[in-house]
Structure 1
């Protein structure tokens, strides 16, 4: 003969089984965001910036034939949309920037809808750093190389003794229509620029005082005071360009992806 469980025992068993379900339905633990870190020199994840025209008291805007707009992506997260026409520009500008020892790390999440395929040797910049000194340093940019029919990443510079150059490499193709986490390091000890893509180092792109793509003179950093993040194409072009940014951060240590 089968024994029936008493109503008290049955209720107790059901309450034990229900415990994990109740715990799982509670609020998830809060995750610390990058911008909550105390040791950053600058950070913007756009979550507190109103949608619409891209403006903030934290940063300036530098545009010509271009615009910045804060919008929501498919995940519902706010991102910065830079759009330019032809060889226009659209940059978020961090003014009054000062890094200890004139050295710092940067990190952005970025997606470019499409890179230029004309004219030959079309040159584009996504990150530009300037300051007291003639060199305009471009840690993240690239060039369309017609002999390879490819757009390639390359560190570059202009305005100083080394001339106008982009140190592109075949090992670093500029990939369109996908989100990438890009990190860079500016090391004043040897005027060195290093890059990482999605956490993987790209040593072929490294430049330094005596190893770069310009005139055979020393490459020297300015005393940085401005960092610009966005897009500029330098050659006349009839197309338009769309670039999205998220999780921009500058700091004294590598920030990571």
Structure 2
């Protein structure tokens, strides 16, 4: 009876924990929710090169392939040198140009050369602004001998910038969950890592890492997820990234 009582207590605690998680607004992963603006968990795709009409591919010296892992399927992103390989969501439209994104990712290694090498994992473009916005990216900082996450942009009046923060070091070879918010009200890009808000990793109209002019979000119509390194001759010479549980929605989904 003592074992039974303990087991019942454990069940009650787990049930309470589940209720608490739901009350925090976090939703279970998966693509059954038809209110999502876009979703891909790779479970319905065969291993190998992408075989879907739901999204496109943007590569240069890189490739994408669906891989079977122990319990699920994921997308492997492989690049050589300063190549790129992205899953590309075209013809994207969010009501009022406001949305949230989520992706689980793992990077095998981050660049340690050349100096100030910077990289992108999520890139968003659209109409009405020439800014190429990079909610998830980072840079190798030689004075600190480390690489750090940072929101960035290029192609617009604010210039080419990655606002990396010493408070956000990258972690190689570990799965992490990244979420971002895209809010045109104040041209805000906000980030969460593993469910924790990171106000240090954000940008707004007047607070960003570029030229002293207003930062203006485009009306998003293309979302790319994958990997691009911009400088030639990097160390290491090639990169592997794994992606899973990609979703775009009008609400924050949680991890």
TM (norm. structure 1) is 0.86
Counterpart of 1:250 in structure 2 is 248
Structure 2 gaps of 5+ residues are: 1-26
Distance 1:252 1:135 in 2: 22
Once the 2 structures are TM-superposed, how far is the Cα of residue 33 of structure 1 from its aligned partner? 4.5
Counterpart of 1:142 in structure 2 is 138
Would the alpha carbon gap of residues 155 and 235 (structure 1) be closer, same or farther in structure 2, given more than 3 Å must change? Answer: same
Distance 1:32 1:230 in 2: 23
Q: Are residues 1:94 and 2:89 paired? A: yes
1:206 to 202, 207, 212: 202
Once the 2 structures are TM-superposed, how far is the Cα of residue 39 of structure 1 from its aligned partner? 1.6
Distance 1:191 1:140 in 2: 16
Distance 1:102 1:176 in 2: 33
Counterpart of 2:15 in structure 1 is none
Q: Are residues 1:41 and 2:37 paired? A: yes
Distance 1:118 1:253 in 2: 38
Would the alpha carbon gap of residues 157 and 71 (structure 1) be closer, same or farther in structure 2, given more than 3 Å must change? Answer: same
Moved over 6 A (4+): none
Q: What is the count of residue pairs matched by the alignment?
A: 226
Structure 1 or 2, whichever has the larger Rg, is: 1
Counterpart of 1:117 in structure 2 is 112
Deviation string 1:132-163 (CA, Å, 9 cap, x unpaired) is 12000000000000011111000000000000
Report matched runs for 1:104-253 at 5 Å: 104-132=99-127, 133-238=129-234, 239-253=237-251
Distance 1:216 1:67 in 2: 37
Question: What SS does the corresponding residue of 1:53 show, helix, strand or coil?
Answer: coil
8 Å contact kept, 2:104–2:246:
yes
Structure 1 gaps of 5+ residues are: 1-30
Distance 2:194 2:51 in 1: 28
Counterpart of 1:54 in structure 2 is 50
Deviation string 1:8-61 (CA, Å, 9 cap, x unpaired) is xxxxxxxxxxxxxxxxxxxxxxx9653111221000000001110124110000
8 Å contact kept, 1:112–1:178:
yes
Question: What SS does the corresponding residue of 2:191 show, helix, strand or coil?
Answer: strand
8 Å contact kept, 1:55–1:61:
no
Question: What SS does the corresponding residue of 1:101 show, helix, strand or coil?
Answer: helix
Distance 1:56 1:149 in 2: 41
Counterpart of 1:77 in structure 2 is 72
TM (norm. structure 2) is 0.87
CA RMSD of aligned residues (A): 1.2
